[in-house]
């Protein structure tokens, strides 16, 4: 995101508008600088978690594609071994979508940091299947290159003995060499290094030792400043240090910072006066780990308190940072602030599609409350609701029992706390469906209906979801139709077209699954009409997909084809994975069914490009390839499915 932020700062509003287009509103959620350049951006539509994240990823990728049209771009991603899961998912998405663009993505990582369980290992395995992927192993420098590096770092041409000594003791590792040369230069011992090698010149065995020796050359006040900064994080600010370090005047603190800058242990952030970062994360870790556990915890507690005061009314915007420090200081500061800021940060992560980060935040806060004897209060209910939403966005369908259990607990805790409105809101949340899995949603909705006023708008929403749950979970088609009928009556009484649209769409989905197709065309077309008038492309695509699928199954292929073609535009505009996949699959299978092989291949191959692990595009493309006699390609499609089975497959 820093690369986008830097680009935004130097770009003109017209340039940003042209390159980001409608995706600016999505990217603004994680790069707020965009809003300052492009005021009045509309909020992105409310989507299910996976669809919302797809929309964000698509907006970012489209931005890079457009920016690369004026000039080729090189995007360098350093320290990928420290990247979080959402960032790696974005990298995989971009790699799939940028094949035809003038963009080179270079990712650097330390392979010694990776295990088979490391998220980056899975990402690399996925990226290796991409056509443009290349892996380059960076080995140590040669003796000749070592001499060039020493000359560049020290400003003098070293003799062959010095070069051999540095090379032998570092195995050509550039970072080890750079740190070692800086140490020798600061001690005035570089030119004598070769001669002293035979007398026991000891090159540090690890980077931490090299950094430790460099730290020993700094003043006491500089080390004290760096130690405090290391606990703040890799990035830190002058105003934070001013409040945290006692006994130093403003001038002395600036002198300490300049001393660390001169030693190249830290560096100033570009175009951000007063902001710094450690030149290497290992330097920060070395300083932090030298502290005793007790001192480190107490320093985290002080940092948390000071930062909260510093941020003042803007503390909520820095919730993730505060949640981290209060979590590290839990034994000193207690759990209240940890829970408060973890909850805020978790909701912010969900809003920015950082589902894995949200998962960690909600789990950590719940563990803290459990340690204090978790009570059935509003905070616990809210944390469980957040955890459930994060889980359904990150878990396979076969593991949906866990988020649905947490959703149920959240509902029960709200009821026990007397917050009926919140309990009903939890039940109304549109959780992804898992047909043929009894996840208890029908029972949750039944209990929620007992709380909602009969024939109210909220009862209508609950009944709309209840009908789907009754059929998908327990196969009760008659009960589902009764629930849909009651919900539709409420929609008509309230004259609420949005509720009517939702009920009709859910009802047609159940009819399609139950093979009761007679009323689907009429109900589906009404839902599509309402979606268009309400400017709701998500329901327009969903209703069109169900209706087109039903018409095709009934043999009314021309009608189905018209609906399938009409759903492409709203699906494209949504920039969300599920509706776009539905539109492509509908068009692809309809063309395949009448022998329009070229058009069918175009739609299905695009579906595979968007979702390489998707069952629908791969399976239908396999059928198409066998139909046209391309058995080799058809086998490859099947192998792709076997290698990466869809969620829930056994």
Helices 281-289 and 207-216, axial angle in degrees (round to 10): 70
Mean pLDDT of the region 151-179: 79
Question: For residue 203, what pLDDT band results from cuts at 50, 70 and 90?
Answer: very low
pLDDT given at position 197: 52
Residue 629 pLDDT exceeds 70: yes
pLDDT at site 318: 93
DSSP state of 235: E
Tokens of 162: 């010095």
Determine the pLDDT at residue 645. 61
Structure tokens given for 139:
């080995």
215-224, 237-246, 436-445, 503-512: range with lowest mean pLDDT: 436-445
Q: In 475-567, where does DSSP find H-type helix?
A: 477-494, 497-514, 520-533, 537-553, 557-566
Mean pLDDT calculated for residue range 634-642: 80
pTM here is 0.74
State the chain's mean pLDDT as an integer: 87
pLDDT at 214: 82
Share of the chain above pLDDT 90, in %: 50
Tally of residues, the chain = 650
Structure tokens at 253: 């603190």
Phi, psi (deg, nearest 5) at residue 438: -85, 100
* Chain segment 87-144, per-residue pLDDT in tens: 999 999 999 888 888 999 999 997 766 766 788 988 998 898 888 899 998 888 998 8
Q: What is the tens place of the pLDDT at every residue in 340-355?
A: 999 999 999 988 878 8
Domain map of the chain by residue range? 2-127, 143-203, 293-374
Q: What digits encode the pLDDT tens for the residues 292-323?
A: 999 999 999 999 999 999 999 999 999 999 99
Handedness of CA 585, 590, 595, 598 (dihedral sign): negative
pLDDT for 206 equals 60
pLDDT at residue 169 tops 70 = no
* Cross-strand pairs, 104: 74
pLDDT of residue 648: 47
Helix (H, G, I), strand (E, B) or coil at 67: helix
CA distance 414 to 3: 42
Q: Are 615 and 582 in contact (CB under 8 A)?
A: no
Q: Which of 19-33, 193-207, 547-561 has the lowest mean pLDDT?
A: 193-207
pLDDT at 644: 62
Task: Pick the most confident of 39-53, 515-529, 569-583.
Answer: 515-529
**Mean pLDDT across 68-82:** 90
Q: Kindly report the number of other CB atoms within 10 A of residue 266's CB atom.
A: 24
Listed range (204-213, 319-328, 494-503) with the worst mean pLDDT: 204-213
State pLDDT tens for residues 369-400: 887 666 778 899 999 999 999 888 777 666 78
Cβ pair 31, 10 in contact under 8 A: no
pLDDT of 533 higher than 60: yes
Q: Please give the pLDDT value at position 205.
A: 47
pLDDT of residue 158: 80
- Beta strand pairing call for 103-107 and 73-77: parallel
Q: What is the pLDDT of residue 44?
A: 83
Which residues, in sequence order, are bridge partners of residue 235? 277
Q: Report pLDDT for 292.
A: 94
Dump pLDDT digits (tens) for 458-500: 999 999 999 999 999 999 999 999 999 999 999 999 999 999 9
pLDDT at 650: 44
Range from 31-35, 132-136, 198-202, 607-611 carrying the lowest mean pLDDT? 198-202
Summarize pLDDT for 5-60 with one digit per residue, the tens: 888 888 899 999 999 998 999 898 888 889 888 988 888 887 888 888 889 999 99
Tell me: pLDDT of 241 over 60: yes
pLDDT band per the 50, 70, 90 thresholds, residue 616: confident
Identify the pLDDT of residue 478: 94
Question: Helices marked H in 11-48 — which ranges?
Answer: 13-20, 24-28, 33-37
What is the token pair recorded at 212?
């430790």
Question: Strand locations in 149-230, DSSP E?
Answer: none
Structure tokens belonging to residue 287: 């300083």
Cβ count within 10 A of residue 350: 21
Rounded Cα distance, 373 and 287, in Å: 35
Phi, psi (rounded to 5 degrees) for 191: -65, -25
- Mean pLDDT, rounded, for 532-557: 92
C-alpha pair distances (Å), 513 with each of 265, 320, 549, 560: 63, 43, 11, 17
* 322 membership: H or E segment, kind and range: helix 319-328
């Amino acid at each position: 995101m820093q690369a986008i932020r830097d680009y935004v700062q130097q770009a003109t509003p017209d340039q940003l508008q042209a390159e980001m287009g409608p995706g600016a509103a999505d990217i603004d959620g994680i790069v707020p600088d965009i809003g300052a350049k492009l005021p009045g951006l509309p909020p992105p539509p409310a989507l299910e978690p996976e669809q919302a994240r797809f929309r964000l990823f698509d907006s970012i990728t489209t931005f890079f594609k457009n920016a690369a049209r004026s000039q080729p771009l090189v995007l360098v991603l350093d320290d990928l071994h420290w990247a979080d899961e959402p960032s790696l998912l974005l990298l995989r998405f971009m790699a799939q979508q940028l094949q035809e663009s003038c963009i080179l993505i270079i990712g650097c990582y330390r392979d010694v940091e990776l295990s088979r369980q490391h998220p980056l290992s899975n990402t690399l395995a996925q990226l290796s299947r991409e056509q443009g992927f290349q892996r380059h192993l960076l080995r140590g420098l040669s003796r000749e290159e070592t001499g060039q590096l020493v000359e560049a770092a020290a400003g003098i041409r070293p003799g062959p003995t010095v070069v051999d000594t540095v090379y032998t003791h570092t195995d050509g590792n550039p970072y080890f060499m750079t740190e070692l040369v800086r140490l020798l230069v600061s001690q005035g011992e570089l030119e004598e290094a070769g001669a002293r090698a035979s007398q026991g010149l000891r090159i540090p065995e690890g980077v931490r030792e090299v950094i430790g020796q460099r730290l020993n050359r700094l003043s006491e006040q500089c080390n004290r400043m760096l130690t405090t900064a290391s606990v703040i994080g890799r990035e830190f600010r002058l105003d934070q240090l001013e409040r945290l370090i006692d006994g130093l005047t403003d001038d002395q603190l600036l002198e300490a910072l300049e001393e660390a800058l001169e030693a190249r242990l830290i560096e100033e952030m570009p175009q951000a006066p007063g902001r710094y970062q450690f030149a290497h994360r290992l330097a920060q870790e070395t300083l932090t780990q030298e502290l005793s556990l007790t001192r480190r915890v107490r320093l985290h507690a002080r940092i948390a308190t000071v930062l909260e005061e510093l941020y003042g009314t803007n503390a909520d915007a820095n919730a993730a940072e505060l949640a981290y420090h209060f979590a590290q200081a839990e034994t000193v500061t207690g759990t209240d602030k940890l829970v408060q800021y973890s909850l805020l940060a978790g909701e912010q992560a969900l809003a920015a599609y950082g589902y894995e980060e949200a998962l960690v935040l909600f789990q950590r806060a719940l563990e803290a409350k459990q340690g204090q004897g978790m009570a059935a209060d509003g905070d616990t209910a809210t944390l469980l609701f957040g955890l459930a939403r994060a889980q359904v966005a990150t878990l396979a369908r076969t593991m949906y029992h866990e988020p649905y259990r947490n959703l149920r607990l959240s509902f029960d805790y709200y009821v026990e706390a007397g917050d009926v409105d919140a309990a009903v809101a939890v039940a109304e949340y549109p959780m992804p469906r898992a047909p043929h899995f009894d996840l208890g949603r029908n029972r949750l909705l039944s209990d929620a209906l007992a709380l909602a006023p009969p024939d109210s708008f909220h009862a209508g929403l609950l009944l709309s979801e209840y009908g789907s749950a009754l059929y998908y979970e327990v196969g009760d088609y008659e009960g589902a139709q009764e629930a849909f009928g009651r919900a539709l009556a409420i929609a008509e009484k309230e004259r609420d077209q949005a509720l009517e649209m939702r009920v009709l769409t859910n009802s047609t989905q159940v009819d399609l699954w139950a093979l009761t197709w007679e009323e689907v065309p009429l109900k589906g077309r009404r839902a599509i009409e309402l979606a268009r008038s309400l400017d709701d492309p998500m329901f327009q695509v969903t209703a069109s997909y169900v209706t087109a699928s039903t018409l095709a199954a009934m043999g009314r292929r021309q009608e189905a084809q018209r609906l399938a073609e009409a759903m492409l535009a709203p699906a494209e505009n949504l920039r969300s994975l599920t509706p776009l996949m539905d539109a492509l699959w509908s068009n692809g299978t309809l063309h395949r069914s009448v022998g329009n092989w070229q058009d069918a291949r175009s739609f299905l191959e695009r579906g595979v490009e968007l979702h390489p692990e998707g069952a629908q595009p791969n399976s239908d493309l396999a059928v198409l390839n066998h139909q046209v006699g391309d058995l080799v390609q058809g086998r490859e499609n099947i192998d792709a499915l076997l290698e990466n089975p869809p969620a829930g497959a056994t």
